[in-house]
Amino acid sequence: MNHFFKVKSLEEVKSLIKEFSPVGSETIPVCDAFSRILASDLIAPKDMPGFRRATMDGYAVVSSSTFGASESSPAWFDIVGTILMGEIPDFDLAPGQAAKISTGGMLPKGADSVVMVEHTELVDDVSVEIYKSVAPLQHVIDASEDFAKQDTVLSKGTLIRPQEEGLAAGLGFARIEAYKIPRVGIISTGDEIIPIEEEPAPGKIRDINSYTLAGFIKEARAIPVRYGIVKDDLVALKAAIKKALDETDMVLLSGGSSVGTRDFTIDALSSLPDTKILVHGMSVSPGKPTILAKAGKKPVWGLPGQVVSAMVVLKIVVIPFLNMLKGLAQKDRTIRIPAKLTRNVSSAQGRRDFVRVLLEKKDNQLLAKPVLGKSGLIRTMIHADGLLEIGDHVEGLEKGTLVDIILL
């Protein structure tokens, strides 16, 4: 049965993210936390660093005793001790007294700043001259300056970069709660598609989409699971989708998403139990014949077969859904950089266009050169560094326009 497209805008499709929920969570060692998503808030159990700490080598002092000190009129201080690294000083400091301290050392009680050794001159073993005044807390990190006890230092949904991993480690969290890494099933469809190991007979082509889609899924730090190639056969397609749904958190099909007599994706999905078609057609080019279904609680995508269209739809629409499944609070992490368009580009009203562009630097200016060619030509993606998004109500863009490019 053929169903004609009832196109939805890109925003309407993206708004369907709310139909789905993140995968479950698990406890993992903090050393494996890089690139994972935090599944519960991280609360500081103590102040960080927890003590007043020198950031320069020199002398711990009471800052008010240094006021007015200068090259011509140095202030005189009594040296009352040396602070050992990692030890609590066993003396307090009064105005007019100084203690030798190294970077990272703990200031004694009473001291509120450190004078750099370069701004001092040792008079003898017990006295030092100071040539520069210091302000309160100068050259020190205070006890709760990084984070205070009970602060929410990282919120649920945060992407753990090296700095977040370091913070969790610094606070003593040996294990953290992270969302599981979603598994994404990938199925290529079409009687003309053959495995890459085979020599294509006339009319056949090797499977490209399984590889490009898996690459983008890996780039998004999820796990691709390839289910190979399925012929244009309703029964075989249904079986493959069911298996992928049992074993993964989201399924991607490519090919057969249009309205031709051999396009079975919509029929296969419609006949699955507990499955609702949410999208069949999107006002995006390339990528119009996109399908989104909700099978049980899981998203299933029917991506256009054309190699470029499948990649563009994955990058623009599927990745924000994947980010939600991953538990990421910030679903859209698309990086855009400004560049100047090198030629006029036309676009249809009522449709969101994504134009492949090559980026080139000339006279300190980044130029965006449209890469022309059909959506079945993978070379247009090979030569492209980014995508230029043209709004639904824009008829085209003129040469010289400053545009934002989505990096590929």
Ligand X SMILES: Nc1nc2c(c(=O)[nH]1)N[C@H]1C(S)=C(S)[C@@H](COP(=O)(O)OP(=O)(O)OC[C@H]3O[C@@H](n4cnc5c(N)ncnc54)[C@H](O)[C@@H]3O)O[C@H]1N2
Cβ contact 282:7 at 8 Å: yes
Pairing of β 250-254 and β 298-303: parallel
CB closer to ligand X, 89 vs 304: 304
CB closer to ligand X, 89 vs 305: 305
Distance of CA 232 to the CA centre of its chain: 37
**Chosen from ligand MOO, ligand X, none, partner binding at 113 (C-beta under 5 to 8 Å by type):** none
The least distance separating ligand X from the CB of residue 263, rounded to whole angstroms, comes to 4
At 266 the three-state DSSP class reads helix
Which are the contacts of 32, defined by CB distance < 8 A and separation ≥ 6?
none
Interface residues with ligand MOO (CB under 6 A) are 285-289, 304, 306, 309, 375
Cross-strand pairs, 29: 175
CA distances from 168 to 8, 143, 158, 164, 200 (A): 42, 18, 12, 6, 53
Phi/psi for 103 (5° steps) reads: -55, 125
Cβ contact 346:395 at 8 Å: yes
Six-digit token pair at 145? 């300056």
Identify the CA nearest to 28 among candidates 141, 172, 135, 180: 180
**Chosen from ligand MOO, ligand X, none, partner binding at 385 (C-beta under 5 to 8 Å by type):** none
CB closer to ligand MOO, 28 vs 394: 394
State the Cα–Cα distance between residues 117 and 34, nearest whole angstrom.
Answer: 39
**Chosen from ligand MOO, ligand X, none, partner binding at 188 (C-beta under 5 to 8 Å by type):** ligand X
The least distance separating ligand X from the CB of residue 245, rounded to whole angstroms, comes to 20
The least distance separating ligand X from the CB of residue 205, rounded to whole angstroms, comes to 6
**Chosen from ligand MOO, ligand X, none, partner binding at 65 (C-beta under 5 to 8 Å by type):** none
The least distance separating ligand MOO from the CB of residue 224, rounded to whole angstroms, comes to 21
CB closer to ligand MOO, 289 vs 302: 289
The least distance separating ligand X from the CB of residue 303, rounded to whole angstroms, comes to 7
CB closer to ligand MOO, 288 vs 326: 288
**Chosen from ligand MOO, ligand X, none, partner binding at 205 (C-beta under 5 to 8 Å by type):** ligand X
Q: Would you list the DSSP string of 81-134?
A: EEPPTTS--SS---TTEEEEE-TTPBPPTT--EEEEGGGEEEEETTEEEE-S--
Interface residues with ligand X (CB under 6 A) are 188, 190, 192-193, 205, 207-209, 254-259, 263, 286, 288-289, 304-307, 309, 375-376
* CB-based closest residue to ligand X: 305
CB closer to ligand MOO, 35 vs 285: 285
The least distance separating ligand X from the CB of residue 25, rounded to whole angstroms, comes to 34
The least distance separating ligand X from the CB of residue 244, rounded to whole angstroms, comes to 15
CB closer to ligand MOO, 108 vs 287: 287
The least distance separating ligand MOO from the CB of residue 316, rounded to whole angstroms, comes to 12
Cross-strand pairs, 176: 28
**Chosen from ligand X, ligand MOO, none, partner binding at 196 (C-beta under 5 to 8 Å by type):** none
Q: Would you list the DSSP string of 282-338?
A: BSEES--S-EEEEETTEEEEEE-SSHHHHHHHIIIIIHHHHHHHTT-S------EEE
CB closer to ligand MOO, 52 vs 288: 288
**Chosen from ligand MOO, ligand X, none, partner binding at 207 (C-beta under 5 to 8 Å by type):** ligand X
**Chosen from ligand X, ligand MOO, none, partner binding at 135 (C-beta under 5 to 8 Å by type):** none
